[in-house]
Each structure stands twice: as C-alpha cells, then as structure tokens.
Amino acid sequence: MLLLKVCRCISELCRNRSSNSNSMVSEYKARADVPSPEELFARLVVLLHDPLSMEQLATQILTVLCYLAPLFPKNINLFWQDEIPKMKAYVSDTDDLKLDPSYQETWDDMIINFLAESLDVIQDTDWVISLGNAFTYQYELYTSDNEHSALLHRCLGMLLQKVDDRAYVRNKIDWMYKQASTTNPANRLGLAKAMGLVAASHLDTVLEKLKDILDNVGLSIFQRLFSFFSDNYRTEESDDIHAALALMYGYAARYAPSTVIEARIDALLGTNMLSRLLHVRHPTAKQAVITAIDLLGGAVINAAESGASFPLKKRDQMLDYILTLMGRDDDGFVDSSLELLHTQALALSACTTLVSVEPKLTIETRNYIMKATLGFFTLPNEPVDVVNPLIDNLITLLCAILLTSGEDGRSRAEQLLHIMRHIDQYVSSSVEHQRKRGCLAVYEMLLKFRMLCISGYCALGCHGSCIHRKQTDRTLHGTFSNLPSAFVLPSREALCLGERVIKYLPRCADTNSEVRKVSAQILDQLFSLALSLPKPAGFSGTVDIELPYSALSSLEDVIAILRSDASIDPSEVFNRIVSSICLLLTKDELVATLQGCPAAICDKIKPSAEGAIQAIIEFVTRRGKELGETDVSRTTQSLLSAVVHVTEKHLRLEALGAIASLAESTSSSIVFDEILATAGKDVVTKDISRLRGGWPMQDAFYAFSQHTVLSFQFLEHLISFLNQTPVAKCDLEKGDNSGHLADGQIEDDILQAAMIALTAFFRGGGKVGKKAVEQSYASVVAALTLQFGSCHGLASSGQHEPLRALLTAFQAFCECVGDLEMGKILARDGEQNEKERWINLIGELAGSISIKRPKEVRTISAALSEFVPYSGGFDSLLEQMVEALCRHVSDESPTVRRLCLRGLVQIPSLHIYQHTIQILGMIVALLDDLDESVQLTAVSCLLMILESSPDDAVEPVLLNLSVRLRNLQISMDVKMRADAFAAFGALGKYGGGAQREIFLEQIHAAIPRLVLHLHDDDLSVRQACRNTLKRLAPLMEMEESTALFNSHRLTSDHRSDYQDFVRDLTKQFIQHLPSRIDTYMASTIQAFDAPWPIIQANAIYLVSCLVSLSDDQRILSLYQTQVFGMLMGKMSRSPDATVRAACSSALGLLLKSTNSLLWRTARQDLK
C-alpha cells in the first residue's frame, strides 16, 4: 500500500511540474538523499512483477517511469512513450488476465523485453554498468521473495548480455549464484533463465561457472556413502543444486548462438555431465533435469531453423536418462502421485523434442521408448488437469516418432502400422477412457501421416510449404527427391487397410459417442489417404473409378452429421458407415478384413461385437462373389475361431449367422468342409461333452439344420461326405495328439464329426430340418446303410465307438421322420455281430421301407450303386447290380440317372471290358439328357471309361460322341466345358483307325473353338484345350507343328503369348491346310456372338490373322467386306472394353497387311 501511495505522489508531483522538466532534472541531481536514476529504474522494473496486485500497481509504476523518463539517458523518452502504453494495455483488464494460465510468464517476458530494448536504446556503457550494480544491490530487498528474486535474476542476466567486460560479467554471475535460493523452484528457474540470457553473449564464461559449480557439488558425492549412516548429509540440498545446474545448462544451450552451440553441446555431452545429475530424487529436481535435456534438444532444433543443422550426439543416451528420471522402473503407471504425473508429462514432452532431431531413431530405440510410454494410456482419468496434458504429450510423442522415422513412403507406412498395432490393445480395451485415448492417438497420427504424404514434414510443425521444410525434406528424402512419387509415397497395400478397418470398425458401434465419432474419422482418414496414393498393382481400369469417391463422400457426410448432431440414431450411422466401407475396400482388403474378424467379434464391448458381425454379414452378402476358394476357406476358419472364443450365447449365434451368410453368398461346400474339419479336430483333442458353455460346433450344426436356405445343402453335404469316405479302420485314442496326424486319420476324425453333425441335424433341425430330411430320405438311408458293414467289422475287432455313433444317428433319423418301426429294428438288432447278423438287419430295414415308403426304394437302390467298385469277387452279384443299374439309367429322376451311370463306370477293371459297349451306349444317350447335371456326369464318366476302353468298343460310337461333345463345348458351365474339351482330346487315340477320315472332319470342325478357348477365362478350360490340341495335332498332318505345340506360348496365360501362338498357328493353317481356311473362317465368325467377351476378342483376332496373312483371293473376296463391316459394328456397339480394343487392333492389323490396298478399297465402298 505504501509503495502504491509513493507512486501516486510521484506521478502527481511530476504532472504538476511537467512544463519544466529541465528544472526537475537539475533539482533531482542536486540532492544527495534520493536514489540514483539507475537505482530507481532497477527498483521499479523488478516491482513490475505482479500484474494482479491491488489497485493496479504495475500500471502505476509504468506511469511513474513515463514521468521520470527525463532522468534517464536521452532517446529513452521516445521509446517509452511508445512501449509503455502497450504494457499498460496488457495489464489493464485483470479479469482477462486471470483467464490466461500463462499470464505471469507472458508478463515477465514482456518486462525482460522492455528492459532489453531500453538498454539497446540507451547505448551508454557506463550507465549500463551502473544499472548492473544497482540490480546487484536489489538482492538484499528480496531475500524472502522468490518470485521477485527470479525476475531480478533475469533482469541482471539480460543486462549482462549487453556488457562486453568479461570480468564484470564473471563477477556478477558469481554474485547472482550466491544470492540465489536453489531450494525454491521459481528462484532457481529465474537463475537458470538468467544464466541462459548471459550465455547468449558470454557462453564460455557461463559454462566455466557451471563447471565450477558442478565440480564443487561433485565433491559431496562421497558423502552419499555416509548418508546411509548419518543424517548430516542433506539429499534435498544436493537435489536442489543439481536441479539448478541442469536448468542452467539447459537455458545456456537455449539462448546460446547457433553458430557455436554444436561444439559446446558436443563437449558438454562428452563430459557425461548429465549422468551426474541422474541421482536426484525429489520430483521437482527430476523435472528440472528433464527440462534441461528438453532445452538442449530445443537448441538443436533452433540451430537447424537458423540453417546450422547438426546431429545431436548421445541423443539415445539422453532419451534413456529421461525415461530413467520419469520413474518407469520403480513406479507403475497406475495410482501415480501428482508430482510424478507432472514429471512424466515433462518427460514425454522432452522425448518428443529429442525424437525430432537428428539422427533418426533406430528401431531398438523406438521400441524402447514405446515400451516405456504406451502404458500411460491406462492412467485413470483423475486428476483431469494433469492426466489430460500427459496423454496429449504422449500422442504428440507418437506422432513425432512417426514423422521423423523412415526414408521413404513404405518405411514410414511401416512405422505407422507398427505404432497403431501397439495401440490396438487400448483401442479395444474394456475401459472407456482407454478406448477414447487410443482412437484419438490413431486419428492424430493419421492426420500427421496424411499431411506428410501431401506436403512433406516440418520439424517445427508447419503445414503446407514453409522455409523450414526445405532443409528437413533434404534430410528426410535424401536421394529420393529426384525419383517418381511412387518411390516417396507409400503404396496403398502398405497401409494394410483390411487389417486396420476391422480394428476400428467395431468402435463405430461403441457405447461412447466420442469414440464412435473419432473411429469414423479414422476410417475416413485411412481411405482418403488410400485414394490419394498410387493405384495397387494389377489395378483394372475397368473398375468404376467414381464408386470409391462416391462412397468416401457418403462417409464424410456421416461424419459431418456426427459432428453437428449428437442425437442421431447410432445404428443408422453405423449402417451408413458399413455401406461406405463395403464399397471402399478392394478385393484383397476385403479378404484381409474378413480374416481379421475374430478379435472384432470377441470385442469386450457387446454393441461393438454385434456391429462387427453385422458388418461382416453385409460384406459377404454384397461382395461374397468376389472371394476365391482359398479366401472362403480362410474366412470360415476365422469366423469359427471367433465362434469358439465367444462365450456369450447370443453373440455365438450371431457369429454363426455370419458363417451362414458366407455359405449362402459364396461356396457352401467349402464352408461346410471347414466346419467339419474344425469339428473333427475337436473330437480327438477335447472332451466335447464337458466343454464350458457347450460345444460351439454343436451350435453350428443346429444353426445350419434350422437355416431355411442352407439346411438341405448342409444335409446333402454330410451325406456326400459319408458316401465318399470309408469308415475308419483304426481309432486314435481320444486326447492323444502327439505327432502329426496322417491324412487317413484326419479323414477318420472328420467322418466321426460328420456322424455327430448328422445326429445333431436330425435332433435339432426343427421343422426346417425335418423338411430337408424328408426331401433327402433316400440318400440318407443309403448313406447310413452303407456304413453298417465297416462299422460292424470294426466292432468285431473291439472298436465299438463307430457303430454306436452310427446307430445313434440312425435312431435320431427314425425319430425325425417318425418311423418307429425302423427304430425298433435298430434297437433290437443294431449291435448284433454273430454270423453277419447285420446283413439280415439291412434286409429288415429294406422290408420296412418298402412297405412304408415304396417310392423311395428305387432311389435308394441307385444310391447303393456305390457298392459296385467293391463287388469284384462276387460275379453273380455284380451281374445283378449291373442289370439293375442299366434298367434305371433312364429313370425319371435325374439323381437316379446320375448315380446309376456313376455306378456303372466303377465296375472293377477285370469286368469292365465285357460291359464297355453297353456303358458307352448309355453315355451317348445321356450326353443329350435335358438335365445339365446328368450331362456333366456323362462327360465325367466318359473320361473315366475311355481310359480303359478297347478300340472296337469306341469306334462305332466315335462320330456320335464327337458331335455331342462339340455341342457341350459351348456350355456356360465351366466344369462341363472343360470336361467336354478334355473328352474330345481323349477320343484322339481312337481316331487313327477305320474312322480316321470321319474323325478328322470332326477335328477340323472343332479346331477354331479349341483355339479360341485356349485363352478362356477359366484356367481348367485353358488347360483342357492345350492338352487336347497336343493330342490331336499328329492327326492333322501339319509339318513343323510339333515345335509350335511344345512352345511356351501354348502354355502361357499372357495374352501377348497367346496372340503370338495364334499368329504362328494361322501361318501353319495357310501353308498346310489352305482348303480348310474357309471352314475355319465361318466357324470363327460365328464366335463373334459368343456369350463371353474374351472369346469374342479371341475370335476377332483369329479372323484378322486368317485374312491378313492369307493370299487366297477367293477368301479375300468372300470375307473382306463382311469382316470389315462386322469389326466396325462391334467396335461401335460392344459394351465391353476388351472387345472394342480387339476390334481396333484387328482393324490396324488388317490395314497394315500386304492386302491393305484391298481393305482400303473395301472401306471406301462401305462409305
């Protein structure tokens, strides 16, 4: 209060005498009992410290300075008139100041700047020296006032910065250190900043002083040995001195000139000075040492900004110091004290600084830092004002590691993925705030990474183009600056989008709204980045390029809604996100997403797990057709893994629903195979009857048996498997899983699982399952009956389990179809083994079925044709079976016809010859069957029978077979097409006899189609055509064709090789078969209307070769106008780009040929 009154009095007095300033100066100098101007200025500047003091003391002091300006050296008056009003304006509104947490630091900086600029204006060395002495005298006034002492340190430090007298400077910093109180954090911080200000002009002098202090305090290290036995040694005092020393070193580096800082820092680190400061124990002392290291790193960054960049030696060692000081070993991450949290926050900030300087982090150091810091994500929320900044610092550190790592786009993408994968555990944590922090960290890193890809990286945090980035880019990019962007930018594949999507998509259905919003933004950033990167290898230009951008736009619309309207229905938002992601994923990314689903389905947050399942169902429903067999298999395995690990019944059923959707949308047989394989492994490795929560595979069997679409398919698959797999001849003891299981044993396990699945189907299928069983009644009975012989054989040798499983399944079947009589028969005689009692049992079952279900008898008989391959030792029985099969090969049921024919071709080899002619006649008839499945069976059986058929049996039907096979070669069914081509080739070995000329005509009729399908879309068709051409080539009598048919161009899948082969083959045709060109042309032109675009393109190329290479005027006159017109029409009307490109290429080939004059004439005629 007294000071305030004095200031007011001085102001009033000066105001009244303002008209005569000269007299005031004269009177002031004449008096010896008043302070000198230097003392007055020193006193008032330090008293400015508190801007919130009562009645605006700072404003009053500034006013006094204005009035007293004439007392000070010239020119200061004008400067103060301009500067002091600005300072008054800053402190005028105390309420605003209170809202700014850094107001005191800002105000102190303004005071120091005001002093520095005042000294620059004065430019009077003697006056500055005198002012320095005045500042020295002020210390005795603030012995107990650390806040004002801190400012006084800084004022003296700034003044010494302006002085050239080294001795004077050394004397004053000695005085400053003696007067400082290192026990008080504010006082020692002011001292450290003061030393830093002095170091800006007198670095070596300051470093000498600091070394003296360090050496002196080092003497007391020996006393540490005695501190365990004596209380005389005060650890706190040593910590305070070390803390002050560390800060002084740090600020000396911070303010030192950039031109000399490198050598000083290298020398400083070379002395291992920092290691001598690691013994501090008090939290504030640790914070001081960490701050010092941070300032050292900042000095390197400042030097780089000034163009004097250099690597920070022992940077990794300093990082280790920081991590040591933050107490990562002794203190856990949970329940940390407040001071420890402050220390850790500072440590993270310092790590960020050191990470941001050269040299680049090694992988080992990066992993070391992440291991030591990522655990902070698990900190509790409270206290918010400390924990939140700490988490922000952690995220900033992770972003710094990302931005300063790697040499090119791929290596940086690897860094990004490495960090994100380590954060995954927090993204999917059961603790809400951990999920929020994890998602926020990923989002921030993606923002930085995207900015890095778009505009490069600036160590100072600038966006876009900046002067700092040029230097940094040279460092980061190195020799990459002259390479195409593909070498600098990462590829889309490097982002592993499929893996990432399935990690963050469940969070879009999280219970926390902030997590939902941030996770949606993460997906947006991922795909925005992906669409800006080079296209993946094999990218097809035919893909609708607008589709992903439209989907991304839709995703961004959803995010905009989330930002503006928190009340929107989360399920609606999630549905829109899933729809967008479904369109944004490439095929490979979709596969990776589906295969990474187990963790998502097992998510600890139930709505997220449900959302993951919902997303998977939509993905497979909308894009399941794109998945290959291997993709379906591995996706099924992933889903089954999730089913096994999900403990909640509801989620397990939903996951099984996803598997059902996969089976519906892709290949159900592959899905069923994987389910049985998994069940088979469980049967031999687990006690499935005692599993907690039940056996997941049993739930799967129930789910499929009750599925309205898949129940019939699943039952048929089980029956098919039983029919194809013999019953186990040995049984592995349950639980013995040593060594590798042989293929036969694996089949036995799956067979056992299939029998369990059948039992579950019969018992748990409900109405839907019962309907499927009724539809497949005959095949079920046949399949179960076929197992009796082997199961009883095993039972007689002591292995009773297979028979019991079979009888259990059969009894369940009887209960399902309501056949109590058959159930009684099984219960009575099912396990009887004496004198082949089981054969009589089958007879009784057959009698019962013939009475109750007579219509099923014929179908069951056909199904039992599987016995044929094993009936070689029973001639009479075989004859009866063959006769029965031949009778029913024309049955009205396609299934019966197929099974009968399949049974006939499996007659044992010793007996097949006497039935070959009869079987071939049936095959010829069934090749014309109205049912495509029967035709396919006929072709497959023909391939089997031709392997062992004599010439005299085949030659009579050679023409009929050839004609029918040619008709089937244009089937839309890939398997049919491939088998028809293969069977036609197999006929080649019978074409050299009496039927040679007739068969040769069939060959020439088929040659164009064979050539066209050499480059079919399907690999099996291509392979069949290649083999067939090789087989038929000797019959065509073309010289020099052997080398052509053995060349790599025939076996290559590349179109260019195919075209080269066609061109060379055409030359052979023209040279050796000129009379056939007309036939080839007519057949090939018909293929212009083939249902496959690739075949149309192949036909266009073959025709262009035939015409352009031919010199036969008759051919040219017949086809020139027709071909030219068709090519022009195709090119203008075809919707397929491949066909249009083929037309364009063909026209060019024709116009460049030796007959180009004729073609130009034809073109003019068309006009």
pLDDT score for 729: 43
Closest CA to 317 of 281, 275, 266, 348: 275
Q: How far apart are CA 775 and CA 899, in angstroms?
A: 17
Q: How confident is the model at residue 1149 (pLDDT cuts 50, 70, 90)?
A: confident
Residue 203 pLDDT more than 80? yes
Lowest-pLDDT range, 242-246, 459-463, 840-844, 1044-1048? Answer: 459-463
Determine the average pLDDT of the residues in 881-889.
73
**Model confidence over 651-688: pLDDT tens digits?**
999 999 999 999 999 999 999 999 999 999 988 888 88
Residue 27 pLDDT more than 70? no
**Model confidence over 109-139: pLDDT tens digits?**
999 999 999 999 988 889 999 999 999 999 9
pLDDT score for 344: 92
Lowest-pLDDT range, 64-78, 610-624, 762-776, 961-975? Answer: 64-78
Between 1077 and 198, where is the model more confident? 198
**Model confidence over 347-393: pLDDT tens digits?**
999 999 999 888 888 889 999 999 999 999 999 988 888 999 999 99
CA dist 886 to 116, 347, 948, Å?
114, 88, 20
Lowest-pLDDT range, 428-432, 454-458, 779-783, 793-797? Answer: 454-458
Determine the average pLDDT of the residues in 969-974.
90
CA dist 630 to 626, 759, 808, 975, 1018, Å?
12, 29, 34, 19, 16
pLDDT score for 1023: 92
Residue 871 pLDDT more than 60? no
Determine the average pLDDT of the residues in 396-418.
86
**Model confidence over 927-937: pLDDT tens digits?**
888 889 889 99
| Residue 86: Cβ within 10 Å count | 11
Lowest-pLDDT range, 202-211, 257-266, 323-332, 441-450? Answer: 323-332
Q: How far apart are CA 417 and CA 497, in angstroms?
A: 10
pLDDT score for 630: 93
Q: Which of 21-25, 223-227, 445-449, 467-471 has the highest mean pLDDT?
A: 445-449
Determine the average pLDDT of the residues in 740-763.
78
pLDDT score for 789: 65
Q: Which residues of 869-880 are buried (b: 16+ CB within 10 A; e: fewer)?
A: eebeeeeeebee
Q: How confident is the model at residue 17 (pLDDT cuts 50, 70, 90)?
A: low
Between 259 and 244, where is the model more confident? 244
Task: Write out the two tokens for 14.
Answer: 């000066």
Closest CA to 496 of 619, 571, 578, 413: 413
Q: How far apart are CA 851 and CA 828, in angstroms?
A: 19
pLDDT score for 476: 41
Q: How confident is the model at residue 487 (pLDDT cuts 50, 70, 90)?
A: very low
Between 786 and 1142, where is the model more confident? 1142
| Residue 687: Cβ within 10 Å count | 11
Residue 612 pLDDT more than 90? yes
pLDDT score for 847: 67
Residue 82 pLDDT more than 80? yes
Residue 328 pLDDT more than 70? no
Between 1100 and 785, where is the model more confident? 1100
Closest CA to 1007 of 959, 1079, 946: 1079
pLDDT score for 813: 86
Q: How far apart are CA 518 and CA 440, in angstroms?
A: 7
Structural contact between residues 68 and 28, judged by C-beta atoms closer than 8 angstroms: no
Q: How far apart are CA 754 and CA 768, in angstroms?
A: 19
Q: What percentage of residues in the chain have a pLDDT greater than 70?
A: 81
pLDDT score for 442: 96
Q: How far apart are CA 319 and CA 401, in angstroms?
A: 13
Angle CA(661)–CA(665)–CA(666) in degrees, nearest 5? 115
Q: How confident is the model at residue 715 (pLDDT cuts 50, 70, 90)?
A: very high
Task: Write out the two tokens for 710.
Answer: 């898949």
Q: How far apart are CA 495 and CA 921, in angstroms?
A: 61
Q: Which of 299-308, 769-778, 911-920 has the highest mean pLDDT?
A: 769-778
Structural contact between residues 1073 and 1038, judged by C-beta atoms closer than 8 angstroms: yes
| Residue 122: Cβ within 10 Å count | 18
Residue 230 pLDDT more than 70? no
Determine the average pLDDT of the residues in 27-38.
72
| Residue 505: Cβ within 10 Å count | 27
Per-domain residue ranges for the chain?
1073-1167
Q: How confident is the model at residue 329 (pLDDT cuts 50, 70, 90)?
A: very low
pLDDT score for 689: 82
The per-residue DSSP string of 1000-1019 comes to HHHHHHHHHHHHHGGG-SSH
Rounded to a whole number of angstroms, the distance between the first and last alpha carbons of the chain is 109
Q: What percentage of residues in the chain have a pLDDT greater than 90?
A: 30
Q: Exposed, middle or buried: residue 974 (CB in 10 Å: 0-12, 13-18, 19+)?
A: middle
Q: What is the CA radius of gyration of the chain?
A: 45
Side-chain half-sphere of 544: how many Cα atoms within 13 Å? Answer: 8
pLDDT score for 474: 39
Closest CA to 1049 of 1039, 1069, 1063, 1031: 1063
Determine the average pLDDT of the residues in 459-477.
43
Q: Which of 270-284, 321-335, 456-470 has the highest mean pLDDT?
A: 270-284
Run of H or E residues at 341? helix 338-355
Structural contact between residues 561 and 508, judged by C-beta atoms closer than 8 angstroms: no
Residue 466 pLDDT more than 60? no
Residue 260 pLDDT more than 60? yes
> Quick one: CA torsion of 620, 625, 629, 633, rounded to 10 degrees?
10
Structural contact between residues 634 and 588, judged by C-beta atoms closer than 8 angstroms: no
Q: How confident is the model at residue 59 (pLDDT cuts 50, 70, 90)?
A: confident
pLDDT score for 261: 77
**Model confidence over 537-595: pLDDT tens digits?**
555 544 567 888 899 999 999 888 888 876 788 899 999 999 999 999 999 999 999 99
Q: How far apart are CA 936 and CA 927, in angstroms?
A: 8
Closest CA to 1099 of 1077, 1083, 1118: 1083
Structural contact between residues 792 and 838, judged by C-beta atoms closer than 8 angstroms: yes
Structural contact between residues 195 and 236, judged by C-beta atoms closer than 8 angstroms: no
pLDDT score for 1151: 80
How large is the greatest C-alpha to C-alpha distance in the chain, in angstroms?
A: 149
Task: Write out the two tokens for 1113.
Answer: 């005027």
Closest CA to 1009 of 996, 1024, 997: 1024
CA dist 1138 to 290, 539, 542, 1091, Å?
66, 15, 10, 13
Q: How far apart are CA 759 and CA 9, in angstroms?
A: 107
Q: How far apart are CA 340 and CA 1085, in angstroms?
A: 85
CA dist 671 to 33, 637, 649, 767, Å?
104, 9, 21, 23
Q: How confident is the model at residue 225 (pLDDT cuts 50, 70, 90)?
A: very low
Collapse the DSSP code of 249 into the 3-class scheme (helix H, G, I; strand E, B; otherwise coil) and give the result: helix
pLDDT score for 273: 65
Structural contact between residues 404 and 459, judged by C-beta atoms closer than 8 angstroms: yes
Q: How far apart are CA 478 and CA 702, in angstroms?
A: 62
Structural contact between residues 582 and 540, judged by C-beta atoms closer than 8 angstroms: no
Task: Write out the two tokens for 427.
Answer: 């993204």
Please state whether the predicted TM-score (pTM) of the whole model is above 0.85: no
Please name the residue that has the structure tokens 């082949």. 836
What does the mean pLDDT of the chain come to?
A: 82
Residue 901 pLDDT more than 60? yes
DSSP H helical ranges for 123-257: 125-138, 146-161, 166-179, 185-218, 223-227, 235-255
Collapse the DSSP code of 765 into the 3-class scheme (helix H, G, I; strand E, B; otherwise coil) and give the result: coil
Residue 872 pLDDT more than 60? no
Angle CA(1004)–CA(1007)–CA(1008) in degrees, nearest 5? 120
**Model confidence over 161-201: pLDDT tens digits?**
999 999 999 999 999 999 988 888 899 899 999 999 999 89
Q: How far apart are CA 933 and CA 921, in angstroms?
A: 18
Residue 1126 pLDDT more than 90? no
Q: How far apart are CA 1002 and CA 1005, in angstroms?
A: 5
